[in-house]
Amino acid sequence: MNAPLIQPLYDDVQHGTWALLYGRQRENLTGKAAQLYLESLDQMSALTASTIPRVDLMTEQLQATTGWSLAIVPGLIPVDDFFALLAQRQFCTSTWVRRRDQLDYLEEPDMFHDTFGHVPPLMNPEFALFMQRFGEIGVSLRGNEQAVIALQRLYWFFVEFGFVEEQSVSKAFGAGIMSSFGEMEHAWDQRTDLRKFTLDGVMSTPFTTTEIQTTYFLVQDIPEVIREMEAWHASLA
């Protein structure tokens, strides 16, 4: 059995890059990000602004709030392993931080994406439940290639690049938007062309991981997504 990965020590340049990323992106969220995300970010005190946060302290705060924890991974992991972690209320995070010439956009997720983008909403009970059920459903569908692809599309267009409606206003929510200055600028310019969320629409839409997105979906609320996902899963039985 492999030993658990541990968080490395960082130098002043890496801490400085983190502080620059955090400060610039936090300011860029004003008026654009969903209140659900912003409230969770403010609540997540272990996600420090001036230095790279400690994974163990973020886990302690998540555990005390919604029962989630963070698992350090070396990078992208197989989808079956990802589903299994989510089903156990564990979210995976890398521990490397991008270079300063990669501030605006990064193709492969680094620690800023994994924590600044993904961790705050896990403080929200409804979203925490969605993520657990998403993982459990993914585990149950192991070997069903088409169903797994459909689930991955749901994750991409909601968890990574979704918008949510708050008081009749479309606000950015997905982690890929929250953690990327360039993606936020582009997505915000596209907000008048959002597609209304339907599970069929999301699950039939391919996506690319190598460039700025061109398609975004607007979700009414998280319970709606859970209901539709559960109904879809039941229909496969």
Question: What's the pLDDT score for residue 2?
Answer: 54
Domain ranges of the chain: 12-235
Q: What is the mean pLDDT of residues 28-51?
A: 96
- Give alpha helix (H) positions in 54-173: 55-65, 79-87, 111, 125-140, 145-154
Entry pTM: 0.94
Residues across the chain = 237
Q: What is the mean pLDDT of the chain?
A: 94
Q: What is the mean pLDDT of residues 33-59?
A: 97
Question: What's the pLDDT score for residue 1?
Answer: 42
Q: What is the mean pLDDT of residues 199-224?
A: 93
User: Which homologous superfamily is 12-235 in?
Assistant: Aromatic amino acid hydroxylase (1.10.800.10)
Query: What is the rounded distance in angstroms from the CA atom of residue 218 to the CA atom of residue 170?
Result: 7
Lowest mean pLDDT among 40-54, 62-76, 99-113: 99-113
